[in-house]
């Protein structure tokens, strides 16, 4: 929803044709559609175009090049746009919209959105350093009724996640990007909770994890 200085309120398809200043550059909203992943119908996806009419967003896993709005925590009442192919956009579409409450009607989802971004990026030690690569398959789940484990064959428990990173790590998602020893060397706080014996779903839950995931473990 966008409120103009003259009091007009526009939302969804009403915004098609509007030009936004994002990052100092004009971006035109060429099309809009309700997000099919959002059963509430609240979230809309926008086709943002640059001045030369090329898409402003790169491709998401489903091949679309769309964006969605996110509240700007640094500007009350303000918002930004995030592409659906990025971690922030993916996590909204997974069900962790930071402006909502969990199905229990009490639990704020903002911390879950932060934890999800760390999970998607495999940011084990801090949000600043991700250890994943594009195209990696993960089985993401929680204990609040939003995402349920798929128990995909060949996957084992990888890590439990908080807004500041992993609370423990059983194995790295992409061994080519760093072994378990390399992750621990970069983030010593994980040393006591690294490895498949120390990092289980139960141990991650006890350590305060909000989200959990499975992935394919490294060979051997």
pLDDT digits (tens, 9 = 90+) for 11-46: 678 889 888 887 778 999 999 999 998 888 889 999
Q: Give the residue numbers spanning the domain of 100.
A: 88-220
Whether residue 104 is found in the same domain as residue 205: yes
| Band of residue 164 on the pLDDT scale cut at 50, 70, 90 | very high
**Overall domain count for the chain:** 2
DSSP code for 157: E
Residue 158's alpha-carbon distances to 6, 92, 111, 125, 182, in angstroms, are: 51, 22, 20, 14, 15
Strand 9-10 relative to strand 2-3: parallel, antiparallel, unpaired?
Answer: antiparallel
Mean pLDDT value across residues 134-148: 95
DSSP code for 177: G
Whether residue 143 is found in the same domain as residue 166: yes
Domain boundary among 23, 54, 85: 85
The predicted pLDDT at position 22 comes to 78
Convert the pLDDT of each residue in 53-98 to its tens digit: 999 999 988 888 999 998 876 666 677 889 999 999 999 999 999 9
Whether residue 99 is found in the same domain as residue 60: no
What is the residue-averaged pLDDT of the chain?
91
The predicted pLDDT at position 6 comes to 55
């Amino acid at each position: 929803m966008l409120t103009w200085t003259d009091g007009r309120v526009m939302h969804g398809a009403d915004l098609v044709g509007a030009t936004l200043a994002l990052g100092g550059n004009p971006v035109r909203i060429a099309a809009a559609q309700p997000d099919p992943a959002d059963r509430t119908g609240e979230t809309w996806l926008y086709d943002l175009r640059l001045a030369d009419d090329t898409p402003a967003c790169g491709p998401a896993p489903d091949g679309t090049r769309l964006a969605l709005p996110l509240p700007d925590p640094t500007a009350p009442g303000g918002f930004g746009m995030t592409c659906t192919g990025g971690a922030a956009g993916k996590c909204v579409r997974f069900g962790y919209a930071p402006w909502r409450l969990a199905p229990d009607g009490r639990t704020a989802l903002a911390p879950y959105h932060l934890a999800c971004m760390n999970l998607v990026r495999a940011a084990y030690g801090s949000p600043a350093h991700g250890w994943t690569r594009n195209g990696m398959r993960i089985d993401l789940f929680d204990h609040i009724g939003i995402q349920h484990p798929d128990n995909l064959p060949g996957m084992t428990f990888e890590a439990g996640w908080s807004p500041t990173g992993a609370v423990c790590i059983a194995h790295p998602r992409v061994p080519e990007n760093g072994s378990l020893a390399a992750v621990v060397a970069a983030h010593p706080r994980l040393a006591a909770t690294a490895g498949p014996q120390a990092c289980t779903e139960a141990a991650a839950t006890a350590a305060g994890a909000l989200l959990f995931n499975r992935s394919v473990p490294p060979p051997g």
